[in-house]
Amino acid sequence: MRRFSKYLIFPLILVLFFMIVSCKKNTKAATLKIPYSCELTIKSDDEGSDTYKASLSRKENSWLVTYTEPESISGMMITFSNDSYKIKLDELEFDAKRDELPDSAISTMIISALDKSTLSTNVKYKTNDGCVIANGTVGDKDYELVFKDDIPQSLKISGYTVTFSNFKS
């Protein structure tokens, strides 16, 4: 009898394990309908650093980030289109390949986190208080992007906190 129960317990434990794993609720990835636009507030975790404000718009194959604050960079536009980017501030203009822009540039990190969180399979999702939280990496930087009803709310990445507002699709 003891030998019989020994052979019965292992398969029962195995079946129970598979039932528990199959019942686990998977969090679905957030989806962003393109085109969309929003306002950004970018704060560094460093005390005394400037707060940056920008507008962001996403179209089918391009992004446009226009900084409005601080005054020193107000009007600076960064355009990402396919595999190139352009930075323009007043009369100064610079064009290059997208992969030449450092991964640590805040505009690149924001855009990459949004794209990866909605298009990539290398992102982990969880649900907390009705929000979907996406965790992933951009370059070698970890990020956490919070969505509520498929609208980005906040992004924490590389010593920055980005708040999204006035989201329109």
Domain range for 112: 36-168
- The stretch 10-19 carries a mean pLDDT of 46
Tell whether omega for the bond before 11 is within 30 degrees of 0, i.e. cis: no
Which has more confidence, 6 or 97?
97
pTM of the model: 0.81
Which residues touch 82 (CB under 8 Å, ≥6 apart)?
A: 61, 62, 98
Residue 161 covered by a domain: yes
Total domains, the chain: 1
The tens digit of pLDDT for each residue in 57-66 reads 999 889 999 9
Residue 21 covered by a domain: no
